Structure 1
């Protein structure tokens, strides 16, 4: 099962075998044996590529959940002699970790003896949803949910935006700035594939302010975007949760416009979730909105 998941992740026999620490022939033998036992074709092999069959796609979801549960059980057994009574695995976008999440975890930790918290950074909503569904994480802080049938969510906040500018920018000492005042500026954004919902929200906000942003750079993390701002490539718009992040050569200024904001949601599986998740939900503030289950 681990061999199948590794191949599904890499879609390349050599890289999958290397990730498992086994030879490529050994990996092929394991997968052939699995297909023979199940009497189905899980992998489609051609001279050019490796892909999953439709049955393989279905099997993959179950494999991920099974392996995640097995890992969780192993951790519980190992934790017990150390006096650990519970483990909460949290996934979050940078804005969650930089914003409301630390306070939520701190408050919850006070109410649970022997709690271990794992916090995993995720670059986008898609990986968060996948890990919530397969049980790799218990709860996640996301911008949006695409699979509301299987994932429930609770709104944490609607947050305004800030602008990161180079120190030398004429507006660097302003107390705030309006979005429409940035019409002639160069912009640094997240690549759209990194988060289509967030990217489109920023573009739409600029267009409501009367302009389409002139993009001169992309960064796949907040740190990389701030590096480009510091280099004078342009400015970047970020949700206010990130204002705790500072970089030399860059100023952070609140955006005065109220029409550009972004929600943060606490997401979790609707069914078959660990009991620790419900305890965390009960201890957390209910927020201003909910899509719960």
Structure 2
């Protein structure tokens, strides 16, 4: 006969109470069935576990061994039950996040900090400084689970929720003459040397539509994918840049951020696969959306 966890729990209660009546009350059962289960347990193991008197019971050596190791077994089973439930509920395991450009600096640190409190059992793997096309490809190829990117999203296999709209601001070298202007407008960048994001980036496409609409022709000298590299070029005096406001979290020195009166807005969205069945993703995505919305509310 195999050792039953139910009988083991009964025995542990008797061993800790040293009294069948108190153990029965603790287990919310009658005393005779409890005594019978302990007898069955002893019979199954082929040895007595308790020394019984009229007033109390004592553990014999075999009972001491069963109590010590049995208690650890029950504790492990309880821990296992909790861990399995947490994994099933999406509160345990691994989750891979990808962040676009400037969101790597303005948003990612807050997300990781808040997630460590809300999802302590979730191991986050984070990739930053990516363009939206790359993030979409990473999602489709199952290399990441959730992305913070900038719409539009080119694939129907990816669903997304727009959670923020942020201003595009000017990043100017500290010796730029544009700093003398009382207010900076988009047409002030006509024939100005700029450094920018690659042509396929969402921010660049947003700016390109604005340039075209107003007949503005900036002079792009360098295009780079990483916001940190872009701002390094600005700080070096290579040219000005137009970046999402979240990029202001990364100030390398030698750079001054200024509002642009009529600059377009850049949207930010949380995206995941349409066919995603992971509970971790389904639980984390709304949390991520809330963190970003809270951040935007604080900046307004």
Q: TM-score, normalised by structure 1?
A: 0.62
Q: Give 5+ residue unaligned stretches, structure 2.
A: 1-82, 294-300
Q: Deviations over 1:58-81 (max 9, x none)?
A: xxxxxxxxxxxxxxxxxx9xxx9x
Q: Does 1:244 align with 2:249?
A: yes
Residue 190 of structure 1 aligns with which residue? 197
Q: Give 5+ residue unaligned stretches, structure 1.
A: 1-75, 289-293
1:135 shift after superposition: 2.0
Task: Select 1:262's aligned residue among 252, 266, 273.
Answer: 266
The aligned length equals 204
CA distance in 1, matches of 2:235, 2:115: 37
Indicate conservation of the 8 Å contact 2:104/2:129, yes or no.
no
Residue 237 of structure 2 aligns with which residue? 232
1:131 shift after superposition: 1.8
Q: How does 1:202-217 map to 2 (within 5 A)?
A: 202-217=207-222
RMSD between aligned alpha carbons? 2.8
Residue 154 of structure 2 aligns with which residue? 146
- Matched position secondary structure for 1:268: strand
Indicate conservation of the 8 Å contact 1:122/1:128, yes or no.
no
Q: Does 1:253 align with 2:258?
A: yes
1:176 shift after superposition: 4.9
- Matched position secondary structure for 2:177: coil
Task: Select 1:93's aligned residue among 97, 100, 105.
Answer: 100
1:171 shift after superposition: 2.9
Q: Deviations over 1:108-149 (max 9, x none)?
A: 43222322211112532222112212222110011121112x
Q: Deviations over 1:206-227 (max 9, x none)?
A: 3334412222222232222223
- Higher-Rg structure is 2
Are residues 285 and 199 of structure 1, via their aligned partners in 2, closer, same or farther at CA, if it must alter by over 3 Å? closer
Are residues 135 and 235 of structure 1, via their aligned partners in 2, closer, same or farther at CA, if it must alter by over 3 Å? same
CA distance in 2, matches of 1:232, 1:284: 36
Indicate conservation of the 8 Å contact 2:101/2:131, yes or no.
no
Q: Deviations over 1:83-115 (max 9, x none)?
A: x93222101112222233433443343222322
- Matched position secondary structure for 1:248: coil
Are residues 182 and 284 of structure 1, via their aligned partners in 2, closer, same or farther at CA, if it must alter by over 3 Å? same
Q: How does 1:24-173 map to 2 (within 5 A)?
A: 85-144=92-151, 145-148=153-156, 150-172=157-179
Q: TM-score, normalised by structure 2?
A: 0.60
